[in-house]
Structure 1
């Protein structure tokens, strides 16, 4: 039988993980208490996807311990400290943790050797993260493939997923450009196909209010390379570019009413005039003809093609 205390909103008994009171990822404040004969409370929260779990504690007592565990009861964190709260004046502590999908337990108890009883309030807030990485990717053998010049990925380093690997296939000898946007400090390593380390860099985030952008370039031969991201928990964005792998610019000419030319077969062709863009598709033989609003002679026109290898540099023209 479960019991709801008339002066609190916790459901008893909840003094063990197997008896833990279920709460929502975003939970309104629950009022509970620790007493001489009820010194421990457990709460269970289930996350349907990875994200940031914020926990806010208001303690109306001098000392209190807050611990977070995963489903295997491995400790995520421990707040065993002095709050200096009183029956009439609660003291607040809150923190957030990036966690993977799964079940977690929050344990609230008396601090060892500093027995303290009284009431407290606990509330949670969960924010889903917009990461689109494919798990598992925490080793070279599980590395997620990322296409140069085409794909970008938003990844998450969390408490229980501390390292992400990406596989990059370079089809032409050239320059491997790595671009990283970070929201917390991160580490990056780059390996060749044999696991030999080509780069090892710690990236410090200089601003507490905005993201930082970092990039590096390596001269590489045709082959397979791996990028490892790890470090402080939180989101990052990664994209990889190899200019030598980009398609060649189209061959084209422009009249007052259309742009014609040849390029790769069955590919998207984009014409830019000023701030306007006009698109079309090349034929099976690579020919294209794209209608444009009537233009003046010598108007500047820029033409590019997009294939599975990325978007080419523009071909610069003038209307004749």
Structure 2
């Protein structure tokens, strides 16, 4: 063979796929897909070949020994051993022994040595090398935290490669909002380990990729995380190397909780009966959340809760638990639950918590409460609950609201002042001698707004029953309602009440007792008054 440059020979033979058999000497280039014959003797017990690897990939070395004890080794440009020493034993001139060895390597110049193994065995051999590129797209170097390759979640699939020269790859992920990080790995490594670290380099989790047995290893994980910088590392060792492909995706939590809320002191307040579904999130570093709930009356609370894995506790005092629940859902399949709990008036803490270290995730919750009045069932329930939530009215006892009892004018005045949130600080006696002290602030506030008048200059008629006509006047004035465009069908409505009744009809607050009677002078019950205020205020 003519003496030409090592690189030129290697490149020419690699690109052409040329295959030949040549006798070479120490430090001669060994092109890919070329069989070279050599001889080991007592005078020349070792041959050395230069192998040029253009990119990361798998180098296959084939040695056929025609003598009993040959030894093969591969070293990098720093003379570091790559792979292990490999013996080729029991070869004979008429029956050679063949060794095929695959070694995962990075780009570079390597030296392949063929030696006698025991200083007494000599003879001929054939050697060849072939190469299969890994076609990895990772950006090297990425062997440490500081060198970690930045990647975008929900971005391009990553193809990486673990070799003898590079047993660890690091990737950097920035999360600008809380959510679930999902890692999917399709591996052709014999095995390997995947690690997840936080921004301080502290390990969050690790797992084995499993053992490769000619079928791709499919590995996946999900971890619920807060806003931060994270690192994913794929690691191998002397035995576990090869190609892997990785997808990194992210599902935002879209939670509406106010952080921090990890204690009773920082608990997020939630209003019951706000008709909202609240969304929270638990993560590796945030394993429980606290919410403060005010139960404004003795009654029942219905808790709606949905989660894949999280549970919850409902507590009043640190040592008193009223209810608890453990979810038994699965990824993508949250368990939905609903519980009705009887509670006394007071402050409660609702505490969702993660059952597993890194399996928290999104949870949703809703809270509906109703007083424990046994006489408010049916059509009165929403109205009485509405007034109780706003602390407008109380029951006549702990067990009854008194829906069928007639309401007094003084009580109707108190309810109206409360629901309108009027300033009742003026607790001086009213001009009316029959108004009890408990109602002074309410009556004074309503009188200032020109909503109520007395029966006379000295009497309010505090203990008189409120009539439907008087109720219509109060609500029309309080909410400044207009009845324009409404024609009255009732024969019992005088001019004093006409505009007010029209207004209530127009806004669907109430209708008549019959087709032609409004029942202007009829007494109104506590339940009916609750209904009318509820309809007027909620509109």
Q: Under a length normalisation based on structure 2, what TM-score does the superposition of the two structures give?
A: 0.45
2:191 is aligned with 1:63: yes
Q: Deviations over 1:163-198 (max 9, x none)?
A: 11100122333323322123x133211121x42322
The aligned residue for residue 364 of structure 2 is 237
Q: Report how many aligned residue pairs link the two structures.
A: 273
2:410 is aligned with 1:285: no
Q: Using a 3 Å threshold, how does the CA distance of structure 1 residues 290 and 18 change in structure 2: closer, same or farther?
A: farther
How far does residue 83 in structure 1 lie from its aligned partner after superposition? 3.6
Q: Which one of the candidate residues 135, 145, 151 is aligned to 2:259?
A: 135
Q: Which one of the candidate residues 107, 116, 120 is aligned to 2:233?
A: 107
Q: Which runs of 5+ in 1 are unaligned?
A: 250-261, 267-281, 305-311
Q: Which runs of 5+ in 2 are unaligned?
A: 1-54, 57-132, 372-384, 393-414, 422-474, 491-506, 511-528
Aligned with 2:341: secondary structure? strand
Query: Does the CA-based 8 Å contact 1:59-1:85 persist in structure 2?
Result: no
How far does residue 30 in structure 1 lie from its aligned partner after superposition? 1.6
Aligned with 1:33: secondary structure? strand
Return the alpha-carbon distance in structure 1 between the equivalents of residues 244 and 486 of structure 2: 69
How far does residue 94 in structure 1 lie from its aligned partner after superposition? 1.8
How do 1:4-153 and structure 2 match up within 5 A? 7-84=135-212, 90-110=216-236, 115-150=239-274, 151-153=276-278
C-alpha root-mean-square deviation of aligned residues, in Å? 3.6
How do 1:154-233 and structure 2 match up within 5 A? 154-182=279-307, 184-192=308-316, 194-205=317-328, 210-230=333-353, 231=355, 232-233=359-360
Return the alpha-carbon distance in structure 2 between the equivalents of residues 156 and 128 of structure 1: 10
Aligned with 1:24: secondary structure? coil
Query: Does the CA-based 8 Å contact 2:179-2:361 persist in structure 1?
Result: no
How far does residue 41 in structure 1 lie from its aligned partner after superposition? 0.8
Return the alpha-carbon distance in structure 2 between the equivalents of residues 197 and 159 of structure 1: 27
Bigger relative contact order, structure 1 or 2 (CA pairs below 8 A, ≥6 apart): 1
Q: Deviations over 1:109-146 (max 9, x none)?
A: 016xx722212112211121221111111221211111
Return the alpha-carbon distance in structure 1 between the equivalents of residues 184 and 242 of structure 2: 17
How do 1:266-285 and structure 2 match up within 5 A? 285=478
Higher percent of residues as strand: 1
Aligned with 1:247: secondary structure? helix
Deviates more, 1:32-41 or 1:204-213: 204-213
Return the alpha-carbon distance in structure 2 between the equivalents of residues 149 and 64 of structure 1: 52
Query: Does the CA-based 8 Å contact 2:194-2:234 persist in structure 1?
Result: yes
Q: Using a 3 Å threshold, how does the CA distance of structure 1 residues 82 and 11 change in structure 2: closer, same or farther?
A: same
Query: Does the CA-based 8 Å contact 1:52-1:127 persist in structure 2?
Result: yes
Return the alpha-carbon distance in structure 1 between the equivalents of residues 362 and 313 of structure 2: 17
How far does residue 104 in structure 1 lie from its aligned partner after superposition? 0.6
